[in-house]
Amino acid sequence: MGFIYLTNIQLDKAREEYLKALIARGMQSQEEVIPVTDASNRITSKAIYARICAPHYNACAMDGIALDAKITFGASETTPVTLRPEQYKYVDTGDPLPEGCDAVVMIEDVIDSTNELPHHPKPRNRGSRTFRNDGGIETTQENGVKLYEAVAPWQHIRQIGEDICAGEMILPSYSNINPAALGAMIASGVTEVSVIKRPTVGFIPTGDEIVPPTSEPGEGEILEFNSVIYTAMLNEMGAMMKTYPIVKDNAKQICAATRTALSECDIVLIGAGSSAGREDHTASVIAEIGKIVYHGIAIKPGKPAILGHCGVKPLMGLPGYPVSGIIVIEQLLRPIIECLTHTTKQPDKLVEATLSKSVVSTLKYHEFVRVKMGYVNDELIVSPLGRGSGIVTSFMRADGILEVPQGVEGYESGTRVNVRLLKNEEELRQSLVIIGSHDPLIDELSDLMRIKYGDISISSSHVGSMGGLLAIKKGEAHIAGTHLLDEKTGEYNTSFIRKLIPDKKVKLIECVKRKQGLILAKENPKKITCAADLTQEGVRFVNRQKGSGTRILMDYLCRKDALDTSKIYGYDREEFTHTSVAALIAANSADAGLGVYSAAKMYGLDFVHICDEQFDLLVSDDAWALPMVQKLIEVLKSDEFRKRLEILGGYILDKPGVVRKGN
């Protein structure tokens, strides 16, 4: 099979037409009868009627005496009524109203006719209690009681049907069964309830390279984790998922697996192979077994989705990349689940916020950009997360989704955009935005903050020291990590702050000194000892992105030793974190890079120490007073933080948390 061209159907049209096609073919919700005790949060498939009244008998609502109200008429402070023992019966809350009685008097209002004291009946003789309205009292020993107030008929009685009357409708069709509804049903004698069946979604992962989860996958083996993500998503939507064994890139085998799934499930999803590559069989399989409605939707990620059906059953092809699959399920499968469960998702909240970085999109697709968000000076700031469809962490970290409609080229940095919130605003207000230089210690800080102050979370992005200073200048971050060396003075950060953000009040907080140096393959096979060695033939270097403090240091080292950087292979291969530099070296995709000792240690790599540099936290004065910032300072000063850094290694803590300089 060569390269067939996919269609590019507009999202709303695809969604609408697909659902229409399915309903036209007879797709509809199923029902099942289950015990009320299992019905929490289920949806009724028909109206539920009470079988008995609740209460189902006239019940005493107080501990006291039951009597016929008439006999108390006329009673008052001055003309009390004295009752003979046979004129009343002792009752407890919940007892049936005794024959011939139509009211209950609270025991507190009953006065002993002999001693004029509040009446204390003798404790009923335990165990022997029945409902014959003897109240368990040997009335023979009674001398009668006095009442100083007339009693209204039906007072302190829970009358039959006070809550629910037999025959009344408790819940109409298609209603969610909340906890109280469970109680109401049981109270009215309903023990079984007919509810909407949860649709079963079958998922078939495919691909020669796909293997089940393990900690030691071989090269070229891709771990199958989409099923776990999709299962969690579908459960939240009220569906159940059944994951089938992984199938190789083989049309026959995929066909067989699909037929099995179709025989066992209400909806079937085939994972991966939905595109038009040499090895993509999903489309042909769906075409063979059923019918394709659309192949190729104008969304990004998610374009190669296939919307088909077999009889009344939806049969979809999901792109292999997790992020694409998530979008397709969210945008195109959810409406089907909602139709089959008679539910509608509460729409995500849209908020207006300011974009911290430009987002370039293509006119061809409706794009879903995962974003982080945070309140800085009461301004909601949006930062796009990694957009690759393989970046599953982008969904894990997302606070919201920025949708760029088809036909829109994107948005400039600083634009006000509407973002669909995935978290509630309270959480966002509790999130401390740290943008700037990367260091593993920031993750440790964020963990310590969670442990000490549960509700605060740190939202950090690694854009390098320069980017951090800029973010502070533009009011897009509370704090920036920075380690910018001034070649002339040998001083860190201060001169850059003066230069870049002269007219903004900030505080520079001391954090740590950290060992910077060359991260090298284990046992340093290429015998690299200094920057100069990087120019050697066969040495593969990996660099940091421009604007990062480490890149500035690297450039400085080369200038200092008058090295021709064009002679350094991979000088333009840029990574954004110390860990990713170390990771590439550990995987033998590179031989050397500049980075902090802790990253080298993390991967058990060799390290040539070059300098100890000052890593500071820059805090804008507007943020300084925020409780969460002050709490961060506390954590910086804590022993726990010191201990964590000792474990990471390569840090010198002098006076973390003290203000080095304000301006």
- Residues between 501 and 530 with contacts to its own copies, criterion CB under 8 A: none
Question: Of 617, 592, 585, 605, nearest to 649 (Cα)?
Answer: 605
Give 23 or 659: the residue with its C-beta nearer to its own copies. Answer: 23
Hey, what amino acid is at 483?
Answer: H
Nearer to its own copies, 163 or 486 (CB): 163
248/259 with CB nearer its own copies: 248
Q: Which of 82, 84, 138, 167 touches its own copies (CB under 8 A)?
A: 167
Binder of its own copies out of 124, 242, 387, 661 (CB under 8 A): 124
- Which one of residues 11, 36, 246, 402 is an interface residue with its own copies (CB under 8 A)? 36
Q: Does 195 bind its own copies (CB under 8 A)?
A: no
**Binding to its own copies in span 597-626, by CB under 8 A:** 602-603
Q: Which of 77, 216, 523, 537 binds its own copies (CB under 8 A)?
A: 216
On whether the CB atoms of residues 446 and 386 are closer than 8 A, the answer is no
Going along 437-505, which residue ranges are E strands?
457-462, 479-482
Member of 34, 160, 408, 608 binding its own copies (CB under 8 A): 160
Among 6, 14, 18, 55, binds its own copies (CB under 8 A): 55
- State in angstroms the smallest separation of the CB of 375 from its own copies: 17
Question: What's the CA gap between 47 and 286, in Å, rounded?
Answer: 39
Q: Which of 9, 27, 83, 121 binds its own copies (CB under 8 A)?
A: 121
Minimal CA–CA distance to 276: which of 306, 312, 235? 306
Enumerate residues 334-363 that contact its own copies by CB under 8 A.
342, 344, 346-347
Here's the x/- map for its own copies, 464-503, by CB under 8 A: it reads as: ----------------------------------------
Q: What residues does 243 pair with on adjacent strands?
A: 203
Q: Per-residue contact track with its own copies, 281 to 320, x per CB under 8 A?
A: ---------------------------------------x
From 34-42, 307-315, 410-418, 517-525, give the range in contact with its own copies by CB under 8 A: 34-42
Span near its own copies by CB under 8 A; candidates 221-229, 409-417, 494-502, 507-515: 221-229
Among 7, 30, 40, 358, interactor with its own copies by CB under 8 A: 40
Nearer to its own copies, 153 or 662 (CB): 153
Cβ pair 102, 69 in contact under 8 A: yes
* Residue 58 near its own copies by CB under 8 A: yes
Helix pair 639-648, 627-637: axis angle to 10 deg: 60
172 counts as binding its own copies under rule CB under 8 A: yes
> What kind and span of H or E run contains 659?
strand 659-662
In the window 173-192, what residues touch its own copies (CB under 8 A)? Answer: 173-175, 178-184, 186-187, 189-191
Per CB under 8 A, contacts with its own copies among 81-110 are 92-96, 107-108
Nearest to 579 by CA among 568, 595, 567: 595
Q: Which of 8, 10, 21, 57 binds its own copies (CB under 8 A)?
A: 57
DSSP 329-363: IIIIIHHHHHHHHT--PPPPPEEEEEESS-EE--T
Report whether 608 contacts 517 (CB < 8 A): yes
Stretch near its own copies under the rule CB under 8 A, chosen from 193-201, 384-392, 472-480, 624-632: 384-392
- Indicate the residue among 161 and 202 with the shorter CB distance to its own copies: 161
Q: For 136-195, give the DSSP string.
A: T--GGG---EEESS---TTTTEE-TTSSB-TT-EEE-TT-B--HHHHHHHHHTT--EEEE
Q: Find, among 322, 232, 237, the residue nearest to 272 by Cα.
A: 322
Q: If binding is defined by CB under 8 A, does position 383 make contact with its own copies?
A: no
Which one of 205-213, 404-412, 489-497, 508-516 is the stretch in contact with its own copies (CB under 8 A)? 205-213
Least CB distance from residue 331 to its own copies, whole Å? Answer: 15
- Comparing CB distances to its own copies, the nearer of 377 and 424 is 424
For residues 217 and 211, is the Cβ–Cβ distance under 8 A?
yes
Site for its own copies in 541-560 (CB under 8 A): none
Applying CB under 8 A, does 434 fall inside the site for its own copies?
no
Other beta carbons less than 10 A from residue 370's beta carbon:
24
Give the C-alpha separation, 1 to 585, whole Å.
39
- Using the rule CB under 8 A, which residue among 4, 23, 232, 350 binds its own copies? 232
Residues in contact with its own copies, counted by CB under 8 A, come to a total of: 140
The C-alpha atoms of residue 290 and residue 469 are separated, in whole angstroms, by 57
Angle between helices 282-289 and 251-264 (to 10 degrees): 50
Question: Nearest 5 degrees, angle CA 208-CA 213-CA 214?
Answer: 105
Which of helix, strand or coil describes residue 602?
Answer: helix
Q: Are 383 and 411 in contact (CB under 8 A)?
A: no
Is residue 583 part of the contact set for its own copies (CB under 8 A)? yes
3-state helix, strand, coil split of the chain in percent (to 5) is 30, 30, 45
Nearer to its own copies, 36 or 618 (CB): 36
Q: Does 580 bind its own copies (CB under 8 A)?
A: yes
